[in-house]
Amino acid sequence: MKPFDIVIVGGGGAGLYAAMEAMKTNPGLNIAVLSKIYPNRSHTSAAQGGANAALANKAKDDTVEMHIFDTIKGSDYLADQDAVEVLCSEAPKIIRELDNMGTPWSRMDDKTIAQRPFGGAGRPRCCYCADKTGHTILQTLYEQCLRKGVIFFNEYFALDLSVDGSRSRGLVAMNIKTGKIEAFPAKTVIFATGGYAKMYWNRSSNAAGNTGDGQAITYRAGIPLKDMEFVQFHPTGLRKSGLLVTEGARGEGGYLTNALGERFMKRYAPEKMELGPRDLVSRSLETEILEGRGFDSPAGKYLHLDLRHLGADIIKSRLPQIREMCMYFEGVDPIDDPVPVRPTAHYSMGGIDTDNLGRTVMQGVYAAGECGCVSVHGANRLGGNSLLDILVFGRIAGRAAAEECGKFNPTSIPEGELAEKELELRSFMQPKGHYERYGALREELGHTLGMNVGIFREASKIKQGITDIERLKERFQHVRVFDTGDIYNTNLLQVLELKNMLDLAETVAAGALVREESRGSHTRTDFPTRDDEKWHKHTVYTMEGGHPKIGYKPVTMGRYELQERTY
């Protein structure tokens, strides 16, 4: 195959924005987007809330400065302040640009883009399109990429970076529809494969494919990851699917109750009750479950979100989508029955370590979006900043790659690498005396992470988690792929995704163990306070001998001094 100037891995918001911006920057470049699903299926579509930008359409006194401060404070001061400045000052331009290319933003009476309040923001600055913001942004970007004639390799699964010393030759990937392993020699590669929170499996709100493929590939290729221990939990995920019941349900007056029928929030937030901050409510639910006041079921322990007292009229008129979700996914009508819920993992702050242009330590390799870690979210991401992150840094990475690819000579990927990969994949299909099912391993991984490296963490539990993950990695050697065909082998794909999750889970657990403090989403019961003296720094992971080696990196400070984070 003719070498590409840019190969983008992932077709969500970050990948598509990168592709479009790269084509705008230099239309003569040979650019390809590879995605394991059709790009319009990407997880960007699941983001309902919106994207923050200090347009000052709604609150006339809103400023980029205020957005910067809110983001830094929200990050528990672990975000790099120069990166946050880029994020927030690019935000208004990004929102307008999306408008200019057709995103159906909701509007205000004066015909300008509407904005609404969001948690942790000092002003109403979240731009939205009803509850389908991510979906419409993704559609818009996909449409524009089709308009510009971006070349898509849909349903290609990225396997490896081909590395030659300190630089990459390009990507090795499998065509899912044929099973063929193909080389994508490229001057530059941009990873935009999304987050890794699906490793919590049934305790995650993420799409099945949010398995951190890009992070795992680069990690194995010697590129460092950063801040992996920071994973955000949402208090009310549905018991069976992990899908989110949004905060609106509690906002309208829903109760959280335990198996004793108590509104248990009275123990944790006697005044605000169910409307306490998200992390506090998550920790409260988790405590109730750990202390044995939850319900038990084959799908795990849970609590009740009870809306029945609101009555059918209010539920139907004010919470129609929440009701629909409970009925579709849980088979429960909240008018008649309480909804089974428990906290669920839903966002990964960590990712591939990049600079403010999306560059990694390896020449020609970039990362953007939830896949990367610049870092703008630090220890905790603010609502409305995740869509913004993928858009701003997807665009920046696309432009940077387009401008810099000329510096690199085209190379080719040795045939031997493909043959070797082929053998490796085939080996999963060989009958073995003793074999393991990937489904069981995947569930056990999610379970141990949820129990030991979840909302509450402490040394002994995390060590248990690390032991479990090591054992799962050993058992993974015996996993067997029963589908021996070439065409659309999802059995093989899910095994490869599990491998990626296992490698990354090790970094999450290792980081959780070393970080002896509580900061943002990372709560150590044995170290309950933030410790700036020792831990105001990023963790950085490199793979050595198949396991993570931890290093550190300073946080870039700026105008804002460290403060206690109170709301």
Partner 1 sequence: MSDSTIQHHEESRDVTFRVHRFNPQVDSKPYFDDYTIRLEKGITVLRAINYIKEHVDSSLTFRAFCQAGICGSCAMRINGMSKLACTTQVWDELDKAREPGVIKVEPLRNLPHIKDLVVEMDPLVGKMQKYSNWVDSKMPEEQWGKKEFLVSEEEFLAYDKATDCILCASCVSECTILRAHKEYVSPAVLLKSYRMNVDSRDSIHDQRLAGLVQDHGVWDCTHCYRCQETCVKNIPIMDAIHGIREDAIERRGTKDTSGARHAEAFMEDIEKKGKLVEATLPIRTNGLAWTLKNLLPMAFKMVMKRRTPPPPPLVKASKGIDALRKEFKEMTSHVGKDHEKKSGE
H or E, element range at 68: helix 64-74
Our answer to whether residue 309 is catalytic in this structure is no
Residue from 2, 111, 309, 434 binding partner 1 (CB under 8 A): 111
Per CB under 8 A, the segment of 166-174, 185-193, 328-336, 449-457 that binds partner 1 is 328-336
Options 52, 136, 193, 452; binder of partner 1; rule CB under 8 A:
136
When binding is defined by CB under 8 A, the residue of 1, 146, 290, 312 that contacts partner 1 is 146
Q: Segment 505-534, which members bind partner 1 (CB under 8 A)?
A: none
Q: Is 330 in the site for partner 1 (CB under 8 A)?
A: yes
Tell me the two tokens of residue 421: 């990969």
Supply 142's token pair. Answer: 């996909």
Task: Report whether 560 contacts 81 (CB < 8 A).
Answer: yes
Segment 4 to 23, residues that bind partner 1, using CB under 8 A: none
Q: Does 552 bind partner 1 (CB under 8 A)?
A: no
The token pair at 124 is 């109403």
Report the C-alpha gap between 474 and 490 in whole angstroms. 22
Task: Residue 156: count other Cβ atoms within 10 Å of its Cβ.
Answer: 23
Give the three-state DSSP class for 544: strand
The secondary element (H helix, E strand) that includes residue 190 is strand 181-191
Contact by Cβ (8 Å): 379, 373? no
Residue 38 in the binding site for partner 1 (CB under 8 A): yes
Q: Is 447 in the site for partner 1 (CB under 8 A)?
A: no
- Cβ distance to partner 1 smaller for residue 146 or 290: 146
CB of residue 437 to partner 1, shortest distance in Å? 7
- In the complex, least distance from residue 325 CB atom to partner 1, rounded to whole angstroms: 8
* Side-chain-facing half-sphere of 505: CA atoms under 13 Å: 35
For the bound state, the minimum distance from the C-beta of residue 206 to partner 1, rounded and expressed in Å, comes to 8
Q: Is 478 in the site for partner 1 (CB under 8 A)?
A: no
Q: Which token pair is 28?
A: 């003569």
List all residues 6 or more positions away from 292 whose beta carbon is below 8 Å from its beta carbon.
Answer: none
436 counts as binding partner 1 under rule CB under 8 A? no
DSSP 474-504: HHHTTB------STT-HHHHHHHHHHHHHHH
Among 28, 60, 100, 313, binds partner 1 (CB under 8 A): 100
Task: Please name the residues in contact with 41: beta carbons below 8 A apart, sequence gap of 6 or more.
Answer: none
- Map residues 284-313 to x or -, x wherever contact with partner 1 holds by CB under 8 A: -----------xxxxx--------------
Contact call for residue 483 and partner 1 (CB under 8 A)? yes
Binding to partner 1 (CB under 8 A): which residues in 74-93? 93
Number of residues that bind partner 1 (CB under 8 A): 78
Please, which residue, 76 or 330, has the CB nearer to partner 1?
A: 330
With the CA atoms of 255, 234, 498 and 358 taken in that order, what torsion angle do they form, in degrees rounded to the nearest 10? 160
For 391, list phi and psi in degrees, rounded to 5.
-75, -50
Catalytic pick among 234, 278, 342, 538? 234
Quick note: the x/- pattern for partner 1 over 166-205, rule CB under 8 A, is: -----------x---------------------------x
Q: Give the interface segment with partner 1, choosing from 211-219, 228-236, 310-318, 478-486 (CB under 8 A).
A: 478-486
Q: Considering only residues 46, 56, 163, 221, which one is a binding residue for partner 1 as defined by CB under 8 A?
A: 46
* Structure tokens belonging to residue 409: 């000579």
Q: Does 162 bind partner 1 (CB under 8 A)?
A: no
**CA 110 to the chain's CA centroid:** 35
3-state secondary structure of 218: helix
Which span (407-415, 460-468, 477-485, 502-510) binds partner 1, by CB under 8 A? Answer: 477-485
DSSP type of residue 359: B
Residue with tokens 């040394």: 459
Burial of 15 (0-12, 13-18, 19+ CB in 10 A): buried
Q: Residue 7's closest CA among 129, 182, 203?
A: 182
Is 356 among the residues that bind partner 1 (CB under 8 A)?
Answer: no
- When the beta carbons of 155 and 532 are compared against partner 1, the nearer one is 155
Of positions 65, 147, 406, 426, contacts partner 1 by CB under 8 A? 147
Out of 248, 320, 485, 551, which residue is the one contacting partner 1 (CB under 8 A)?
Answer: 485
Is 164 among the residues that bind partner 1 (CB under 8 A)?
no
Residues between 249 and 288 that touch partner 1 (CB under 8 A) = 259-261
8 Å CB contact between 510 and 522: no
Among 43, 123, 283, 377, binds partner 1 (CB under 8 A): 43
Is residue 250 flagged as an active site residue?
yes
Which amino acids are annotated catalytic?
234, 250
